[in-house]
Amino acid sequence: MRAGGGMTAPRTIATGFAFPEGPRWHDGRLWFSDQHAREVVVLEPDGTLVERFAVPGGPSGLGWMPDGTLLVVSMHERRLYRRAHDGTLSVHAELSAYHPGHSNDMVVDLYGRAYVGNIGFDFDGGEAPRKTCIVAVEPDGAVAVAADGLDCPNGTVISPDGKVLIIAESMGRCLTQFDIDPAGKLSGRRLFADLGDHVPDGICLDAEGAVWIAAPYAHAALRVAEGGAIIGRVTTEGAMPYACMLGGADGGDLYLCCAPDHDPTVTVAARGGRIDIVRVDVAGAGLP
């Protein structure tokens, strides 16, 4: 569906975060991980704070199982936690045997299967990039490699019909797509978009099949069509967008997780992270 109303300039609706990342639109609210503050934050659509809760090891990707149970990635523990309705956290899966770098973004399918990426190398320590994998975590917590040989698998989306997974390879500067079979296996790896000089971080999918990417080093969010054409751009001032999510009453609001730096020694003290919102022309896939 189209959101209508034309694209607007971004405006800030919430501030004071260390490093907001991994946003998801769920039950009419924006959820995201304030990674360096080691907590998950929940906001009303207008930016009003609803809830915040701590996650050991720092949270990253978020998603929900069919019964409404929240799954949240612990970056530095390289674990997947499950949060019960009463707020209790328990370990859903151990990922350290598969993730050489800290665990990162995630998408959860309609069956409760989670696909979790990882950095693959010590980014903050200046280690040279190396290829790594994305894992599939079954609803019972069993873990297996879903795809290997990826250059920093990061933001991830699944098409509304559940048949295609698209993932941002940050160090590969591209979007890659796979077919998903009924058992959740990935196959048919192919290029969705070569992004040239742009480094994609978090991504989201709209109703026309285009992908919004957060491109922090361009200080912009870019709308990318299959094949690589950039068909939309939102520029942020004073901070870099690291992730994005479509939501709002009709799915036509693009939320941007922004921060002026990615270094934890800077972000935790500065608290310069913020959430911006932009009205766009095409609603999110499967929304509202």
Residue with tokens 């040239």: 196
Distance CA 88, CA 39 (A): 14
Single-letter amino acid code for the residue at 200: P
| Residue 201 marked ligand-binding | yes
Residue-averaged pLDDT of the chain: 95
pLDDT range class, residue 3, cuts 50, 70, 90:
low
Measuring CA to CA, which residue among 138, 254, 152 is closest to residue 206? Answer: 254
| pTM of the predicted structure, to 2 decimals | 0.95
| Residue 122 marked ligand-binding | yes
Question: How confident is the model at residue 130, as a pLDDT?
Answer: 83
| Residue 104 marked ligand-binding | yes
Take residue 263 and report the two structure tokens written for it.
Answer: 């270094």
Measuring CA to CA, which residue among 95, 78, 89, 75 is closest to residue 142? Answer: 95
Q: Are 234 and 268 in contact (CB under 8 A)?
A: no
Instruction: State the catalytic residue, choosing from 109, 201, 206, 253.
Output: 201
| Residue 27 marked ligand-binding | no
Average pLDDT of span 101-116: 96
State pLDDT tens for residues 20-55: 999 999 999 999 999 999 999 999 999 999 999 999
Q: What percent of the chain has pLDDT over 90?
A: 90
Residue 193 neighbours by CB under 8 Å, 6+ apart: 174, 175, 211, 224, 225, 226, 227, 228
Q: What percent of the chain has pLDDT over 70?
A: 96
State pLDDT tens for residues 151-190: 999 999 999 999 999 999 999 999 999 999 989 999 999 9
Q: What is the largest CA-CA distance in the chain?
A: 48
Cβ neighbours of 130 (radius 10 Å) = 13
Question: How confident is the model at residue 202, as a pLDDT?
Answer: 98
Concatenated DSSP letters of 153-205: EEEEEE-TTS-EEEEEETTTTEEEEEEE-TT--EEEEEEEEE-TT----SEEE
State pLDDT tens for residues 71-97: 999 999 999 999 999 999 999 999 999
Domains of the chain, earliest start first: 11-279 (2.120.10.30)
Q: Compute the radius of gyration of the chain from its Cα atoms.
A: 17
As beta bridge partners, residue 190 has 177
201 is catalytic: yes
Average pLDDT of span 3-9: 73
Strand (E) or helix (H) holding 146: strand 143-150
| Residue 118 marked ligand-binding | no
Distance CA 209, CA 229 (A): 13
